[in-house]
Amino acid sequence: MHTIVAKAQLSPNVTRLDVSAPRIAQIRKAGQFVIVRRGEGAERIPLTIADSDAAAGTISLVIQAVGKSTKELVALAVGDSIKDIAGPLGHPTELIEKGHAVCVGGGVGTAVVHPIAQALSKIGVHVTSVIGGRSKEWVIYEPELRNIGDVVVCTDDGSYGRKGFVTQATEDLLKAGGVDIVYAVGPVMMMKALAELTRPYGVKTIVSLNPLMVDGTGMCGGCRVSVDGKAYFACVDGPEFDGHLVDFGQLADRGTTYREFEQEAAKRCADGDCRIGLSNKG
Amino acid sequence: MSTSNLTPKQRMQIARQEMPAQDPAVRRNNFGEVNLGMEAELAKLEAERCLQCRDPKCMKGCPVNVNIPRFLDLLTAGDMAGAANSLLSDNALPAVTGRVCPQETQCECECVRANRGSPVGIGYLERFVADWARSNQDAITLVNAAPKGKKVAVVGSGPAGLTAAGQLARRGYDVTVFEALHRAGGVLVYGIPEFRLPKKIVDQEVERLVQAGVKIECNVVVGRTYTVPELREQFDAIFIANGAGLPMFMNIPGEHYKGSYTANEYLTRVNLMAAYDPDSDTPIIKPRRVAVVGGGNVAMDAARTAQRMGAERVSIVYRRTKAEMPARAEEVHHAEEEGVAFDLLCAPVEIVANEKKWVTGLKCVRMELGAPDASGRRSPVAIPGSEFIIECDVVVSALGTRANPLLTQTCPDMKLDKRGNIVVDEKLMTSIPGVFAGGDIVRGAATVILAMGDGKRAAAAIDDYLMAKA
């Protein structure tokens, strides 16, 4: 059992849970994730480790509440516990040793970019984070990233930072030159656009993929992604890959497999037929 | 030595008793167990058929060397506690093997009565005695040897790991099993379906091992949470039985379409994640027509599972004929009874989909059996121009697995073969002293019982190794 020791609402649908997981807190590296199962009968869901505190023995999980399982997770309160957490899984991020890295985060992807920026900054790499959201309230991890390096905030509606997408801000940085690598995490179409953007500049672009996953140990093959025409498993071979080689179309498409199921579950949830405490049934 | 009053001649006159089973038309719609188990009278009668051979060939056919005549004799005499203790001292998971072993190629095929009529129903009787033991735990009097003060880590809680853990605990070792998933049992809980092996039974077998002192830690992914070298610092010996892992693909176009599953994913969603239960949160595609590619036990499990999930037509697509199928005979028979179709001598060439990338069919080419190959089997040859499409909305590939690199990646000193499987010596020791391995990570994909045989041998080898060092 993993007790929730702190909880924070980062944006209208993104929540951070700091959870007790001493072994993982001690050894996790940037880019790695865990598989979380809230309780009996719940799904196994992959979540990136956004941060950790080895001394306190806690890891930070940042969850975007979109489906039934994630809504149930974020409904947990401080003092509640999560039944199963396995990890850290996946390969750690391939870090450059010196130079200038641009870390691009879109929406909840910013939470995945955070540990990467943290690790880069720790070894002396100059980090510029480009983070975005629909509007001001959707921008997350800005203070933490400001402690690490330069930050460019973008909002779709211009309510905060510069108006526009993270791609435009990244393009300005590429044009200015001196960018050695780009790390990009966010919606599939954002990562695809960034990979296309950096390609003509010849700047290596690492993306972190979050496909459907069941066991997270290479057993089920559900998380297969096509990279350079070959099938890789995001859980054991990734989750980070060379963005210039990823088949994003296939990834986006496979991601819609259970859309109807999820909508149905979400509807049942909204009708009060679930255990997340939003209804009178509690 | 027989305690029975019957003469061998009288024994020979008893015909093999049938295993009561759920009606196929009923069971194809539920996840309840297919075989219902024998009543005591029936089981005793079947046990009377054993001739108590002085040189029991059946035991040689058993990978864990169960003393079959002994437990059958005790069963015949009505000494259920004696039979149960006898069986459990040889086999840590008899309620499992009594249900999933391919007896027809092991103990039962060696039975002398197989030459003249039908062999003794050893599997059915093993199940009978094991089930009695499950509901009469107090009658189990097996005790552990005095603590040896040494710690052994077992990686993986599948059949090999659990068997080794049970044997090592019995020999007086302090055993900790590390399981990557949230539940112990390995393939017994994620792979083999409920209707063939109820999960409650696996839980009970695991619980018995826990009662015997085995510690089980779930959610520990060895290779990630701890590496083998890290474990080596804390344990006197390690047994690696983390299973095979990565599913293989057909490498044909369209395998990424929505509705294309590996058998591992399909079965894991339904079994471990309980997608068959409407209350489960696990999503799964509810198909109308399903094509399952492969001819092994996993293919049969996937096909019969799809049938129970409500599919209208389920077929097994296999490039040879039924005779060459590696599946257990009873599974093929049960699948047929339940209405699974067999598209034989067909090889898939492409998965086809609609504009929204949902699977709509499996394009195959017809095959014919050509000249025998090096293995003596007639190899299938494609008939040019014979392509056709099997209409389906889900394709499940059950083509076997390859080695999982998670553990070995972080253990660079361990010698692997060219397929990534761990190389062991005749004592099942790897190239790292004190680290042993068995089951699918050594053999590639095999059976539950072969993995258990490895677990048992490894436990003995680890005991020898640690005693020699002491």
> B68: distance to nearest CA of chain A, Å?
35
Is B385's Cβ below 8 Å from some Cβ in A? Answer: no
Is residue B362 predicted with pLDDT exceeding 60? yes
Per the prediction, chain B carries an average pLDDT of: 93
- Residue ranges and CATH numbers for the domains of chain B are 8-139 (1.10.1060.10), 151-245+402-469 (3.50.50.60), 249-399 (3.50.50.60)
pLDDT tens by residue, B274-306: 888 877 888 888 889 999 999 999 999 999 999
Nearest to A131 by CA among A173, A170, A172, A189: A170
Q: Does B190 touch chain A (CB under 8 A)?
A: yes
Contact B225 A88 (CB under 8 A): yes
**DSSP summary character for residue B281:** -
Question: Which member of B246, B269, B282 has the closest CB to residue A218?
Answer: B246
Preferred mutation among A36, A47, A220 to probe B, highest tally of B CBs within 10 A = A220
Residues of chain B contacting A44 with CB distance shorter than 8 Å: 182, 273
What digits encode the pLDDT tens for the residues A194-234? 999 999 999 999 999 989 889 888 889 999 999 999 999 99
Structure tokens at B144: 């552990």
Which pLDDT score, from 0 to 100, does residue A66 have?
Answer: 85
- For the segment B426-437, the average pLDDT, to the nearest whole number, is 96
User: Pick from A43, A86, A257: which is nearest to B282 by CB?
Assistant: A43
* Residue A90: both structure tokens together: 């996946």
**CB within 8 Å: A86 and B181:** yes
Q: Looking up tokens 């097996």, which residue turns up?
A: B142
pLDDT tens, residue by residue, A38-75: 998 888 999 999 999 999 999 999 999 988 889 999 99
Taking the C-alpha atoms of residue B211 and residue B201, their distance in angstroms, rounded to an integer, is: 15
Q: Is the pLDDT assigned to residue B447 strictly greater than 90?
A: no
From chain A, the residues in CB contact with B247 under 8 A are 219-221
How many Å apart are CA B261 and CA B238, to the nearest integer?
34
DSSP letter at B186?
A: T
Residue A18 has pLDDT above 80, yes or no: yes
CA distance A48 to B131: 44
Q: Which residues of B touch A221 (CB under 8 A)?
A: 246-247, 249, 262, 264-265
Of residues B219, B264, B405, nearest to A86 (C-beta): B219
Give residue-wise pLDDT tens across range B97-121: 999 888 888 999 999 998 888 999 9
| Contact A231/B at CB under 8 A | yes
Are B406 and A24 a contacting pair at CB < 8 A? no
pLDDT of residue A274: 47
Question: Which residues, 6+ apart, have CB-to-CB distance to B102 below 8 Å?
Answer: B328, B329, B447, B449
Predicted local distance difference test score (pLDDT) of residue B378? 80
Residue A187 has pLDDT above 70, yes or no: yes
Given an 8 Å threshold on Cβ–Cβ distance, is B190 in contact with A215?
A: yes
Whether residues A219 and B269 touch (CB distance < 8 A) is answered with no
Asked if A265 and B256 come within 8 Å (Cβ–Cβ), the reply is no
- The arithmetic mean of pLDDT across residues B164-180, rounded, is 97
Strand ranges for B341-427 from DSSP E: 341-344, 346-353, 359-372, 378-382, 388-391, 394-397
How far away is chain A from the Cα of B343, in angstroms, using its nearest Cα? Answer: 25
CB < 8 Å to B230, chain A: none
> Among positive and negative, which fits the CA dihedral B285, B290, B296, B301?
positive
| Spatial separation of the C-alpha atoms in residues A134 and A130, rounded to whole Å | 14
Average pLDDT across chain A, whole number: 91
In whole angstroms, what is the distance from residue B15 CA to residue B32 CA? 28
Cβ contacts of residue B5 below 8 Å, gap of 6+?
A: none
Q: Are the Cβ atoms of A217 and B406 closer than 8 angstroms? A: yes
CB within 8 Å: A68 and B281 = yes
**Alpha helices, DSSP H only, in B244-296?**
263-270
Backbone phi, then psi, for B210, in 5-degree steps? -65, -40
Q: Are B195 and B31 in contact (CB under 8 A)?
A: yes
Strand, helix or coil for residue A25: helix
Domains and CATH numbers, chain A: 2-89 (2.40.30.10), 100-202 (3.40.50.80)
User: What percentage of residues in chain B have a pLDDT greater than 70?
Assistant: 99
Task: Report whether pLDDT(B124) > 60.
Answer: yes
Q: Does A49 touch chain B (CB under 8 A)?
A: no
CA-closest candidate to residue A180, choices A195, A200, A162, A201:
A201
Kindly state the tokens that stand for B264: 């591992």
CA–CA distance, B178 with B240 (Å, rounded to integer):
10
Q: In angstroms, what separates the C-alpha of B25 from chain A's closest C-alpha?
A: 29
Q: Is A218–B243 a contact, with Cβ atoms under 8 angstroms apart?
A: no
Chain-chain contact of A69 with B281 (C-beta, under 8 angstroms): yes
Phi, psi (5° rounding) for residue A60? -105, 125
Query: Sorting pLDDT into bands at 50, 70 and 90, what band is A269?
Result: low
Residues of chain A positioned with their CB less than 8 A from the CB of B246: 218-219, 221, 233, 236
Which residues in chain A have their CB less than 8 angstroms from residue B220's CB? 86
Pick among A217, A259, A262 to test the B interface (most B CBs inside 10 A): A217
- Is there a contact between B219 and A254 if contact means CB atoms under 8 Å apart? no
Amino acid at B436: F
pLDDT of A282 > 50? The answer is: no
Q: Which of residues 321-360 of B touch A (CB under 8 A)?
A: 357
- The pTM for the full model equals 0.92
Cβ neighbours of A42 in B, within 8 Å: 281
- Residue A275: band (very low, low, confident or very high) from pLDDT cuts 50, 70, 90: very low
pLDDT at res. A272:
53
Cβ contacts (< 8 Å) between B264 and chain A: which residues?
219-221
- The mean pLDDT value for B168-194 works out to 95
CB pairs under 8 A between A and B: 105
* Contacting residues of A for B249, CB less than 8 Å apart: 221, 231
Which string of DSSP letters, residue by residue, matches A41-95? TPPEEEEEEEEEETTTTEEEEEEE--SHHHHHHHT--TT-EESEEEEEESPPP--
Q: Which H, E and C letters describe B7-31, residue by residue?
A: CHHHHHHCCCCCCCECCHHHHCCCC
Interchain CB contact of B404 with A (< 8 Å) = yes
pLDDT tens digit sequence for B317-351: 999 999 889 898 889 999 999 999 999 999 999 99
Report the candidate in A38, A282, A85 with the shortest Cα–Cα distance to residue B282: A38
